[in-house]
Amino acid sequence: MGEWAREYYVVHCEPVSTSSENDGPPRVERITFERIAPKSVAVAAALDSTGALWVSFAQAWMSKIERDGLESARALTPRTAGMIACDTRDNVLALCTARDAWERRSNDSSVACVAPNGVTRWETRVPATVIYGVAVDPLDRLLMASTSVLAVTEAGVTTELPNWCRQLCVDPITKRVWLSNGAVVWRVEDLAMAIRGGMRSPAPLVYLVDSRARARANVMAPCDDSVWMTLGRAPSDGPAILRRAATTRPSDAPKTVMADVPFLSPATAMVATVDGGFWAALENGDLVKCDTAGRVTSRVSAAEQSGAVSVVAPLQSLSVTPDGRTAAALSFAERAVIRVTI
């Protein structure tokens, strides 16, 4: 790294209000960016296995913030990294896409792999396409949801599945890939076998059509043989609903619902954890940890108090460590990230 990158900054951290049903209170930080990025806009965040936090900024660079609150590395990216994720070796994989003055996606995109010390390991060009979401598979490839499922490595870009999808996730327990196209969620039993054409039977499915509401397929937390998702409802229909559904064959679709749980607020993002539960970032500004039954076991309110008024700042770009103990999410309104360890 150059001389400019050797300076270490202490990032401003503040406690936020918490409540927990666990034996000990969670460690909670509100990490603001005034010191390290006074004029930059945070875009995405990702945690590595140690709980260190990478944040990408609109001026095409990333910052790494350690558990002690110190900024330990910076990295320049080819373009603004709109989506980032960490692999099993704690490299950060950044999807970098240029935009014009009207915020339209350009033809020039790439994926950069940045080492834990901020050094770029490799960069791969990506064909012009719209990317809806990313995830890292067990082979440390960056999977991308688009008109087909793409995988990116140092060697290049390959098409893994021909399916159009809005979202993809990797189950933390079985490491299987789950896809969603907005109407159906399905699990890929063996991605390598699917590529070779060895899968003959239909993939296990979860139908999202509901007589009362429509599930938000872009907000889901798959875990083992089931998936949690939120149901979109009108305000007059009462509280938000978390639904747990099992995979099934098409002929058994009505039998998929396992549980419906009233919830605090609709989720903007959900990530499953190895203990069978999940983290959720909510529209009301809360970051919550839930167990396998959908019960909240830890809750952090990211809303700041302004006099007697609570300022709600919805959380986005949720990331969770592999052990499920630490979660982080961006508050764009506050130019801060909330990091919670239980």
Q: Which amino acid is at 65?
A: I
Q: In whole angstroms, what is the distance from residue 77 CA to residue 184 CA? A: 35
DSSP 300-321: EE-PEEETTEEE----EEEEE-
pLDDT per residue as tens, the chain (342 positions): 333 333 444 455 554 444 444 456 889 998 888 888 888 899 999 999 999 999 999 989 999 999 888 899 999 999 999 999 999 999 999 999 865 444 445 567 899 999 999 999 999 999 878 899 999 998 999 999 999 999 999 999 998 888 888 889 999 998 989 888 877 788 886 555 444 444 444 456 676 655 555 556 568 899 888 888 887 655 556 678 888 888 776 555 556 778 888 887 888 899 999 999 999 998 888 999 999 998 999 998 876 544 444 556 788 899 999 999 999 999 887 888 999 999
Rg (CA), the chain: 20
What is the rounded end-to-end Cα distance, in angstroms, of the chain?
A: 34
Say what the pTM is: 0.84
Q: In whole angstroms, what is the distance from residue 118 CA to residue 89 CA? A: 13
At 5 the three-state DSSP class reads helix
Distances (CA, A) of 163 to 6, 173, 178, 198, 205: 45, 24, 12, 16, 14
Closest CA to 260 of 293, 234, 235: 293
Identify whether the C-beta of residue 54 lies closer than 8 Å to the C-beta of residue 86: yes
pLDDT of residue 217: 58
Alpha-carbon dihedral sign for residues 32, 35, 40, 46: negative
- Where do runs of H (alpha helix) occur along 147-207? 191-196
pLDDT of residue 251: 55
Distances (CA, A) of 246 to 8, 200, 210, 225: 48, 21, 15, 6
At 89 the three-state DSSP class reads coil
